[in-house]
Chains A and B, each alone.
Chain A
Amino acid sequence: MAKRRIVLTFPKDQVERPIIYRLSKDYDLVMNILRAQVMPKEVGRLVMELTGSKEEINQGLKYLKESGVEVESMAQDIKLREEDCTHCGACTAVCPSGALFLNRTTWEVVFDRDKCLLCEHCIPACPYRVIESTF
């Protein structure tokens, strides 16, 4: 079994079609929706984790692309501007998944993208505004 975290962008004219449903029905994928932003007649965004065989995931992603949905790997969506980070650790106070944590030897803030849920709680928690989202 493989896992992929992806960010989907739905064009305005595709928002009302039941595209995600097909992923489970036709490709046997387990979907865990982490965030969604869906409004009638507006561009939609969806963050989710897909679980299934590699082949099924690739087939599912191919179907999404053919349906006009833009597929991005999730990792690019939260950005920590390291050159401006003071490594205070304020962001770690609100991170629910442990993606942002302090290395207790170097006392540097570390961002583990694989654990990030894109909840964005860290963005307002950073006093220096060095965490950005492109969601």
Chain B
Amino acid sequence: MSKTYQEINQRIKKGEAVVLTAEEVIDLAKEKGTDEVAKKVDVVTTGTFAPMCSSGLILNFGHSEPPIKMSKVWLNDVPAYAGLAAVDAYVGASEISTVRGFDYGGGHLIEDLVAGKRIKLHATAYATDCYPRKEITTFIDLNSINQAVLFNPRNAYQNYAAATNSSDKILHTYMGILLPRFGNVTYCSAGQLSPLLNDPCYRTIGVGTRIFLGGGEGYVAWEGTQHNPIRERADNGIPLGPAGTLALIGDIKGMNRNYLRGATFTRYGVSLAVGIGIPIPVLDEEMAFYVSVADADIYTSVLDYSVPSRSRPAIGRFSYAQLKSGQIEIEGKKVPAAPLSSYRKAREIAQTLKEWIASGKFLLTEPVRRLPLETTFKPLEVKEE
């Protein structure tokens, strides 16, 4: 039993497609088996919402009179990169305000812009014959500028390691506040709802895949940075630690603040929480097997963040069912486990995407290029010449 993208899209257009969320399909698979899932279900929707630092916004402000070739740009005092054409800039989610520090950064700026707030733009330049202006201070908003395109080099990590702290002191990390002596564990994945955990070998998620991004429509632009498909995998194909990643793109003019939120990690920095939903066509029984994965079948390592090294020691391996129970056991001690990824929002996103598809307004796209299955994630060696 197999289906093509064209057949599935025909059914979506006619309003006949059977769409389930990645949570709903688990029950069907348990009751009736994955062959029934392959027969009955056309599309499974996934979702995730969590801080993803490698995100940012491409902007084009339009030209002032007299014009300026902006070389330094600040948006609400957050520095943006302007080493592009005259009025183009890129602001990264984890850039911090020169005035407010960790209380406000690129992530908050993106949230404010998408919420329709007025943003202070300040830019300086060296004057040239064609761009005589040296400085500009003005206010912009989402409607006044030409482009505001989210381009996130690394989102939707396929699994992520959980974090804990064996030391005697409190740690402030991008995995939240880690209490001393294994006082807590934090994890960051939507588990069974997570996009790349429902298509672990990237059969359907590839370059050009249309997705839910930040409440609007986006696309998979490329493999994400640090894409590491060769990570050790369980028998079900699921990586046992951080593996594949996605670079995503989309116009923020169609997005909303519910799914793009500035975040601050105390004594670490700022970030942007991004809501992502990816539809997965149930092309055949293999895809039916993949989309039916449950939290109990997905494992990750818990790393000790008290070791400030790129290779932090692993304390143990746990399933998302264990982590999501709220408590795991480390060295005989019961340790509370808490998420940084909002499962409630992940659910909301998968549900919204399901409704978009069921109503016929969101069609699936066949990838124009597969994500690599062989690339490696190299370390950076410190060399003396």
The interface residues of chain A lying within 8 Å CB-to-CB of B339 are 88-90, 102
Q: Which of A88, A121, A124, A129 contacts B340 (CB 8 A)?
A: A88
Which of B177, B185, B261, B347 has most A Cβ within 10 Å? B177
The interface residues of chain A lying within 8 Å CB-to-CB of B49 are 86, 88
Q: Is the CB of A86 within 8 A of B338?
A: no
Mask, A41-73, CB within 8 Å of B = 1, is 000000000000000000000000000000000
Complex: chain A residue closest to B342, CB-CB: A88
Q: Is the CB of A127 within 8 A of B340?
A: yes
Given A86-B273, A88-B339 in contact, is the A93-B186 Cβ separation under 8 Å? yes
- Chain B residue total in the interface (Cβ 8 A): 31
Dominant secondary structure of chain B at its interface with chain A: strand
* Segment with Cβ contacts to B, from A10-18, A25-33, A104-112: A104-112
Q: Is the CB of A90 within 8 A of B261?
A: no
Q: Is the CB of A107 within 8 A of B184?
A: no
Q: Is B114 an interface residue (CB 8 A)?
A: no
Docked Cα-Cα span, A104 to B338, in Å, equals: 12
Q: Is the CB of B326 within 8 A of A128?
A: no
Q: Give the contact-size bracket for chain A.
A: 20 to 34
Which B230-286 residues sit within 8 Å CB-CB of chain A? 261-266, 271, 273
Complex: chain B residue closest to A125, CB-CB: B177
Which A69-92 residues sit within 8 Å CB-CB of chain B? 86-90, 92
Q: Is A94 an interface residue (CB 8 A)?
A: yes
Q: Is B214 an interface residue (CB 8 A)?
A: no
Q: Which of B51, B177, B265, B344 contacts A93 (CB 8 A)?
A: B177
Given A93-B176, A102-B326, A106-B344 in contact, is the A127-B271 Cβ separation under 8 Å? yes
Q: Is B371 an interface residue (CB 8 A)?
A: no
Q: Is the CB of A87 within 8 A of B273?
A: no
Q: Is the CB of A127 within 8 A of B273?
A: yes
Q: Is B203 an interface residue (CB 8 A)?
A: no
Which of B103, B263, B341 has most A Cβ within 10 Å? B263
The interface residues of chain B lying within 8 Å CB-to-CB of A101 are 326
Docked Cα-Cα span, A108 to B339, in Å, equals: 12
Given A127-B51, A127-B273 in contact, is the A90-B184 Cβ separation under 8 Å? no
Q: Is the CB of A93 within 8 A of B184?
A: yes
Q: Is the CB of A125 within 8 A of B347?
A: no
Kindly provide the distance from the CB of B240 to the nearest chain A CB, expressed in whole angstroms: 23
Mask, B69-112, CB within 8 Å of A = 1, is 00000000000000000000000000000000001000000000
Q: Is the CB of B342 within 8 A of A121?
A: no
Kindly provide the distance from the CB of A82 to the nearest chain B CB, expressed in whole angstroms: 12
Mask, B29-49, CB within 8 Å of A = 1, is 000000000000000000001
Q: Is the CB of A87 within 8 A of B340?
A: no
Q: Is the CB of A93 within 8 A of B338?
A: yes
Docked Cα-Cα span, A87 to B176, in Å, equals: 15
Q: Is the CB of B338 within 8 A of A92?
A: yes
Docked Cα-Cα span, A26 to B168, in Å, equals: 43
Kindly provide the distance from the CB of B123 to the nearest chain A CB, expressed in whole angstroms: 29
Q: Is the CB of A104 within 8 A of B177?
A: no
Kindly provide the distance from the CB of B346 to the nearest chain A CB, expressed in whole angstroms: 8
The interface residues of chain A lying within 8 Å CB-to-CB of B261 are 86, 128
Q: Is the CB of A94 within 8 A of B177?
A: yes
Q: Which of A102, A108, A127 contacts B265 (CB 8 A)?
A: A127
Kindly provide the distance from the CB of B352 to the nearest chain A CB, expressed in whole angstroms: 15
Q: Which of B103, B262, B326, B341 contacts A88 (CB 8 A)?
A: B341
The interface residues of chain B lying within 8 Å CB-to-CB of A89 are 338-340, 342-343
Q: Which of B176, B336, B347 contacts A107 (CB 8 A)?
A: B347
Q: Is the CB of A86 within 8 A of B342?
A: yes
Docked Cα-Cα span, A42 to B261, in Å, equals: 39
Given A87-B344, A102-B326 in contact, is the A124-B338 Cβ separation under 8 Å? no
A94-B179, A107-B347 given; name 15 further pairs at CB < 8 Å: A86-B345, A92-B338, A93-B338, A94-B176, A101-B326, A102-B326, A104-B325, A107-B344, A125-B177, A127-B51, A127-B271, A127-B340, A128-B261, A128-B263, A129-B264
Name A's B-contacting residues (CB within 8 A): 86-90, 92-94, 101-102, 104, 106-108, 121, 124-125, 127-129
Q: Which 6 A-B pairs have the closest CB atoms?
A: A93-B338, A127-B263, A124-B266, A107-B344, A88-B342, A107-B343
